[in-house]
Amino acid sequence: MTASVHGPVDVVCLGESMVTFLPTQAGRLADVPSFVRGIGGAESNVACALAAAGHRTRWVGRVGADGFGDHLVSAIAAYGVDTSAVARDRERPTGVYFRTATDRATDAHEVVYYRAGSAASAMSPHTVPSGAVRSGRVLHLSGITAALSPDCLALMRDLAARRDGGPLVSFDVNHRPGLWRDPSAADVLLELARGADIVFVGEDEAEEAWGVRGADAIRAALPQPSVVVVKRGAAGAVSFTRRPERLPALGTGTEPAAGMEPGVGTDPGTDVVTTVPAPRVTVTAPVGAGDAFAAGFLSATLRGLTARQRLRHGHLWAAAALTVPGDLAPPPAAGHADRLVALDDEAWGRLHLGPGWTGEDQEVRTP
């Protein structure tokens, strides 16, 4: 099933999506007896989460002309995502991967990708429809795509180049050392991040990729983007926001300019630095939080909310993902999330979110 979105598109997400096999129990891949089929992909995860929240989204990718490709397109379209620009490749397969149930940050975690030579690796400036990619208010990309092939890297360099009149470019660094065969990976990711308008980067991955330690040093390494969001895991996140002319236009015009606290940071050359702690979360599966955080942050940006509100929405959407078994979870209802975002600092600091906190069945698995 291919779905089309009628009317203006809020966010276009481009990247590889794969069929993922989730273990039915903890343990080594060698010992897990069975797996449940799902979908995974940083950019399509963001598209699905935003669509579930009511935003108009489009996923642009490339899949094989096979059953797994059929499943991916159908499953992503079921969220309400426009998949009309997804290409089918008759010569290359859809990527798949298997993973264990343990935290990616631990030595016990295993993930096995079958994506070399996948259909997505054939994306290039010549095979991706430029009009569909640049049709949204925001174009969301990640560093994963750049690692798939030289053609994909050429595409990313083309898309991440800042252009007047084009969509706002959102870039999640998503440093995956295992994907890169080129020792220039760190330089490539830094180049792409510097070309974007909004950048998401983990404090740990910035240190691993660039040898840069701490949020201030990361901002110093990335002076060009209008917004840099540094994710600090359980410690929270900090955003550096410079007042550009483009970001406020994403809002409704009735709230403070996007990324700006009322009455603060009126000098266009001055950063507004906003730090928001993460709520405590009882984690079901430590996957999908980064994509969910980016989706929540972008959703609040599209609504014209302040930097503090955007970071809190990012944390809440991440908490929704952390409290379900798979990579994808429906975001909290806007009204419920807005009430939590409006809490004072003391009440926010007391939040402790566990499975079912959104009041809905969050578990998302595809048949």
The set of catalytic residues is: 291
DSSP code of 161? S
**Under 8 Å between Cβ of 306 and 314:** no
Number of other residues whose CB lies within 10 A of the CB of residue 10 = 21
Distance CA 15, CA 163 (A): 20
Alpha carbon distances (Å) from 119 to 4, 64, 65, 309, 347:
21, 5, 9, 38, 48
Helices (H), the chain: 42-52, 67-77, 130-133, 143-146, 150-160, 185-195, 203-210, 215-221, 289-302, 307-322, 334-341, 345-350
Rounded to 10 degrees, the C-alpha dihedral 130/10/260/289 comes to -90
- Residue pair 68/77 in contact (Cβ under 8 Å)? The answer is no
Spatial separation of the C-alpha atoms in residues 247 and 227, rounded to whole Å: 9
Residues 340, 316 contacting (CB under 8 angstroms):
yes
Half-sphere exposure of 308 (CA within 13 A, CB side): 12
Phi-psi region of 253 (alpha: psi -120 to 50; beta: other; left: phi over 0): left
Record the tokens describing residue 185, joined without a space.
């990976």
Q: Are 87 and 29 in contact (CB under 8 A)?
A: no
β-pair type (136-142, 352-353): unpaired
Helices (H) and strands (E) in the chain, counts: 12, 16
353: Cβ contacts below 8 Å, ≥ 6 apart: 279, 280, 281, 282, 316, 319, 323
